[in-house]
Amino acid sequence: MRLLLHQLAQNGQKIGFVPTMGALHEGHLSLIASAKKECDFVVTSIFVNPTQFNEQSDLDKYPRTLENDIQLLAQAGNDLLYTPTVEDIYPDDFDHGKVYQFNGIDNLLEGAFRPGHFNGVAMVVHRLLDIVQPDAIFMGQKDFQQVAIIRQLIKTENLSTRLVMCPIIRSSEGLALSSRNARLSPEWKKKALVLSQSLHFAKAAIQSKQSIKEIEAEAIKRIKNQGLKPEYFSIINGLTLQDATRKSGFLVAVTAAWAGDVRLIDNMILRDKSDSYAK
């Protein structure tokens, strides 16, 4: 694969890379579509990375649908699928002790509830980038904090890959698509709509007189009322990921909640980087 990709690069072809953990859905396919638009050759990886799971049961229960994934990738016009084994990614001499520095953004939000998660994410993406050497990597806004982590990884490790963040793809009712949704019962799927609804509420409320704290508290209440167990609902500065103190600048509402035994995350840009409110 390295030989092939090297040859393509030498012939001036731009390589786009979409790392995934499989159980592919329209969200993943949208990343491939973006990569196809911007690059000449698209590589998708499917690797359920053990180092980013902080609970063995979550890793064990992670959906694996390789045959279906292969069909979806063929339909989407993906050029190369990379499905490494754990030994390919982490050979015997691999240094598992590497601790990446993220100026604290790895300990907030998802990091606070999933210790070590982002170090594992950085480890696998760093390794994959080293193998694939893409011109651009395509990642979903669905994992907003993960995008910030990889942006930082590219900067601190001085990598030449460009990072492209692609918008969140949702079901027609508003549920952010996720491989984990396959584990939701029809009842929980319905109740989980409260996540995107509460994000829409926050987006409207940010333009009202309500304070940031009041909006967050109201959103938490709405999520609890549907029977979900929220871990956080925070309005943050989209650049620093710190709690927003003022209703100005780049504002993003981020949330994580348990729908039964399935942990879901979602987010929405409330106000973009320019001065006008985000559409």
Q: Of these, 17, 29, 30, 122, which contacts ligand AMP (CB under 6 A)?
A: 30
CB of 242 to ligand AMP, least distance (A): 22
CB of 150 to ligand AMP, least distance (A): 9
CB of 18 to ligand AMP, least distance (A): 7
Q: Which of 28, 117, 126, 200 is catalytic?
A: 28
**19, 38, 33, 15: which is closest to 167 by C-alpha?**
33
Q: Which of residues 190-249 bind ligand AMP (CB under 6 A)?
A: none
Angle between helix 26-38 and 66-76 (nearest 10)? 40
**131 in Cβ contact with 22 (< 8 Å):** no
**Who's near 94: CB < 8 A, 6+ residues apart?**
127
Burial class (CB in 10 A: 0-12, 13-18, 19+), 81: middle
255 lines the binding site for ligand AMP (CB under 6 A): no
CB of 142 to ligand AMP, least distance (A): 4
Question: E strands, 47-167, where?
Answer: 80-82, 136-140, 162-166
The two three-digit tokens of residue 34, written as one number: 């973006």
Q: Of these, 28, 117, 191, 203, which contacts ligand AMP (CB under 6 A)?
A: 28
3-class SS of residue 250: coil
117 lines the binding site for ligand AMP (CB under 6 A): no
Which stretch in 101-109, 136-144, 204-212, 235-243 sits in contact with ligand AMP by CB under 6 A?
A: 136-144
27 lines the binding site for ligand AMP (CB under 6 A): yes
Annotation says 28 is catalytic: yes
CB of 46 to ligand AMP, least distance (A): 8
Contact pattern from residue 170 through residue 189 relative to ligand AMP, giving x for each residue in contact according to CB under 6 A and a dash for the rest: ------xxxx----------
State phi, psi for 267 to the nearest 5 degrees: -160, 165
Tell me which DSSP letter residue 78 carries.
-
The helix (H) or strand (E) run that includes residue 20 is: strand 15-20
The two three-digit tokens of residue 7, written as one number: 């040859």
140 lines the binding site for ligand AMP (CB under 6 A): yes
**32, 22, 11, 113: which is closest to 68 by C-alpha?**
22
168 lines the binding site for ligand AMP (CB under 6 A): yes
Of 5 and 32, the one with the shorter C-beta distance to ligand AMP is 32
| Contact footprint for ligand AMP (CB under 6 A) | 20-21, 27-28, 30-31, 139-140, 142-143, 166, 168-169, 176-179
- Catalytically active residues are 28
